[in-house]
Structure 1
Amino acid sequence: MTQATPMTPATNSIRRFVLEMRGFSDAEKNMLASTFRLTGRREMSYVEPTEGESRTDIYLINADNPEALNELLKRDIGAPNAHSPAVVIGRVPVETPWPFVAKPIHWMRLFENLDGEMQRALRERSARNSANENWDGATLRRSSDQKNTLSQYVIEKPARETVLVVDDSATVRAFMRIKLSPFQFDVDFAETGEQAVEKAIAKAAADKPYNCIFLDIMMPGIDGYEVCKQIKSNSNTKQSAVVMLTSKSSIIDKLRANWSGCDAFLSKPVGEDDLLATIAKFLPSARESRKD
C-alpha cells in the first residue's frame, strides 16, 4: 500500500507526532513537556508517548548524558533513523548525524529543528512505502503504521484562547503580539489599568475569561499591583493567570507582586524563551495536569 505524500493539514487541523526524550532527569522531562504543550497550538505538535503507545516519531537526545549519546550512535533497532529522526541538545556541541541545539534552549529554534527533521522523515516514509509496498514495518516502525495513511497524524486544533497584554508601551504590545500569535492565541490589549480591569470583567461575563493576563506594573492610572488585586479578588476573573511584567526586579518588587496575587513574574525586556516557558504553564492542559 502506498502511503500518502506528506501534506499540509487543513487549517482547522494539526499533525501530532510522538516525541521520546532520552537521557533527561524527571525534572528536566517535566520542564520540557510543559513547554512542548505549546506545540499543540502549531501545525506540527509534539507529545510524549502515552501508556501502551509503541510508536516514536522523533527523539530528543540529551548530549550531556553519555549513556544517551552512546545509544544514539549505536544505530540499533529503536534508535533514531531516517524514518524516526532525532534532535540533540546539550551544553557542548557534539558530532552526530542529527541537528544540535545548544543549552540553554531557544524554544523556537528547537521547534524549527524538530519540524525540519520530521518533514524530512515524512518524505522518507512516503518514498519507502512507494518503493516497497510489502514492507511490514517490523524493523524500523511498528507494522500498524503501514496500514494507516498520513491522516493518522492529523488531529483537530484546540480551541483558540485569548490573552490580554496590559502595557502603555506600543513596542511591548507589538513584541507580545508577534511572539504569541504563532501559537494561535488571540491577543487583546489595554494601555491602562482601568482598561485592563474593564476588559477582564467583560470577557469573564461573556464566559470567555482570559487564559493569561500579562500586566505591566508602572502604567497611567492605577498600577499593576492594584489591577492584579482587583482581578484576583473578583470571583469571575480570578481564574485568569496574571503574569507581571516589569523592569523592576528587586526582591521587594517581587514580594509586592506576590502579595497582589500574581501567578508569575517576568522581568523586562522579556525574553522570548522565558515568555514561552511561562505561558506554557497556564495552558488548560498544564493546569489539569497539576490537579491530578
Structure 2
Amino acid sequence: MNQTLAQQDTKPHNQRFVLEMLGFSETEKALLASTFRLTGRRAFCYAEPTGPTERADVYLVNADNPSGLQQLQQRVPNAYAPALLVGRVPDASPWPVVEKPIRWMKLFELLDQTMLAALTMRSGRPASAEGQWDGRSFRRAVDRHAPPPEFLAPAPAESVLVVDDSATVRAFMRSRLAPFRFDVDYAENGEAAVGMAQAKRYTCIFLDVVMPGMDGYQVCKRIKSDPATRETAVVMLSSKSSPFDKFRGSWAGCDAYLGKPVGEDELLATIGRFLPSARRVALSILARA
C-alpha cells in the first residue's frame, strides 16, 4: 500500500480513520497519539475518537497486556473494523502483529494494509446496508445518516526539498517523510534544485551527491554561498561514505552526510536535528527503539 502511495506524484486525497488504543498506559497512549498526528498529511490518516459516540475503524492493541486483549474481545473486531496487535503473537490470533520496539514506518505500513483490506470488504457490502462509504463517514449502519466528521488537513510546518535523479530514492524519501507535516518538493537534477531553492525557502534539503550535470557538491556550494539560502540545512545522501567523501561534503558546506541506503534511525535523528516541528516526536520514537 505505501509503495503505491509513494510512487504517486500528486498529493493523495486524505481518508480519516478512527483508531482506538487498548491496553496501553497513559504515557504510551500520549506518545502514540503524538505519532499518529503525523499522519495528517498522508493518504490514510489515523486519529483517536473525538467523543464516546464515535466508533473505531481500527483497534491498536497492546498484546502484552491481558486487559488490552480482553477489551478487544468486548469490541468484537471484524473484517470491517479490524485490529492490529503490538507485542507478542497471541495463539491463533487472526490479526497482524507489530513487534516491539515499535518501528514507526512498519506500524504505518501495516495499518495501511489492514485498512485497505477493510475497505475492500466494506466495498462489497450492499449499498442499502451502509450507503456509499467515502473514507470520511462513520462506518456503522446506525450512523449512516449522520454528517461526516470534519477533516481539516493541518498546514505544513516546514518545507523540505529532496534532490535525487533516482525515482526509487525519491519514492523512498517520500514514504519516509510522509508521516511528518512537511511541505515536500522534489527535484531530479542539480540545476532544478538551485532554482527551486532560490524561489522558495526550505528548512532542509536532502541532496544526492552523484547526479548528471551539476553534482551534489556543486549544488551545496551554490546554496551555501548565497546569502538567501545559506541558512538552509543541507543533508547529503550518497552511497559513497569514505572519510574523503564526507570531507568533500563538509568542504562544500553540507550540514550532515548520510550514506545510502539511509537507515531509519539515522533519518529520524536527522529530522530531529534539522526540522524543529518534528524534533520531539522523532527523538521520542528513537528513545523507544
**Fold agreement, TM-score > 0.5:** yes
Tell me the residue number matched to 2:40: 40
Tell me the residue number matched to 1:176: 169
Tell me the residue number matched to 2:63: 63
Tell me the residue number matched to 1:200: 197
Matched letter for residue 77 of structure 2: P
Deviation of 1:110 after TM superposition, in Å, equals: 1.4
Partner Cα separation in structure 2 for residue 280 and residue 142 of structure 1:
43
Tell me the residue number matched to 1:134: none
CA distances 1:147-188 after superposition (whole Å, capped 9, x unpaired): 237xx2685767799642245xx4xx4333223456595412
CA distances 1:84-136 after superposition (whole Å, capped 9, x unpaired): 3211132x333323222344532463133332343156348x559629xxxxx
Pairing 1:100–2:97 present: yes
Partner Cα separation in structure 2 for residue 49 and residue 25 of structure 1:
17
Partner Cα separation in structure 2 for residue 98 and residue 156 of structure 1:
30
Q: 1:56 to 1:12 in 2, by over 3 A?
A: same
Partner Cα separation in structure 2 for residue 147 and residue 87 of structure 1:
28
Partner Cα separation in structure 1 for residue 34 and residue 242 of structure 2:
25
Pairing 1:268–2:266 present: no
Partner Cα separation in structure 1 for residue 197 and residue 116 of structure 2:
39
Partner Cα separation in structure 1 for residue 52 and residue 61 of structure 2:
21
Partner Cα separation in structure 1 for residue 185 and residue 67 of structure 2:
43
Alignment of 1:234-249 (within 5 A): 234=228, 238=231, 243=235, 245=237, 248=241
Deviation of 1:70 after TM superposition, in Å, equals: 3.6
Contact (CA 8 Å) 1:34, 1:286: kept in 2 or not? no
Contact (CA 8 Å) 2:272, 2:280: kept in 1 or not? no
CA distances 1:35-70 after superposition (whole Å, capped 9, x unpaired): 544543343321233466743221111223343234
Partner Cα separation in structure 1 for residue 259 and residue 119 of structure 2:
36
Alignment of 1:73-92 (within 5 A): 75-76=73-74, 78=75, 80-90=77-87, 92=88
Partner Cα separation in structure 1 for residue 269 and residue 54 of structure 2:
28
Contact (CA 8 Å) 1:22, 1:61: kept in 2 or not? yes
Partner SS, residue 45 of structure 1: strand
Q: 1:48 to 1:165 in 2, by over 3 A?
A: same
Q: 1:157 to 1:21 in 2, by over 3 A?
A: same
Partner SS, residue 89 of structure 2: coil
Partner Cα separation in structure 2 for residue 62 and residue 199 of structure 1:
45
CA distances 1:199-224 after superposition (whole Å, capped 9, x unpaired): 32322xxxxx3364213579654586
Matched letter for residue 69 of structure 1: L
Partner Cα separation in structure 2 for residue 96 and residue 277 of structure 1:
35
Aligned residues: 243
Pairing 1:148–2:146 present: yes
Q: 1:153 to 1:189 in 2, by over 3 A?
A: farther
Q: 1:275 to 1:46 in 2, by over 3 A?
A: farther
Q: 1:115 to 1:142 in 2, by over 3 A?
A: closer
Percent of counterpart pairs with the same letter? 41
Matched letter for residue 213 of structure 1: I
Contact (CA 8 Å) 1:244, 1:266: kept in 2 or not? yes
Among 205, 219, 229, which residue is 1:213 paired with? 205
CA distances 1:197-252 after superposition (whole Å, capped 9, x unpaired): 5532322xxxxx3364213579654586x678668x75x775x66555466599xx
Q: 1:180 to 1:220 in 2, by over 3 A?
A: closer
- Gaps of at least 5 residues in structure 1 are 1-10, 132-139, 204-208
Partner SS, residue 14 of structure 2: strand
TM-score by length of 1: 0.56
Which protein, 1 or 2, shows the higher relative CO under an 8 Å CA cutoff with sep ≥ 6? 1
Deviation of 1:280 after TM superposition, in Å, equals: 10
Matched letter for residue 85 of structure 1: P
- Gaps of at least 5 residues in structure 2 are 1-10, 131-138, 283-289
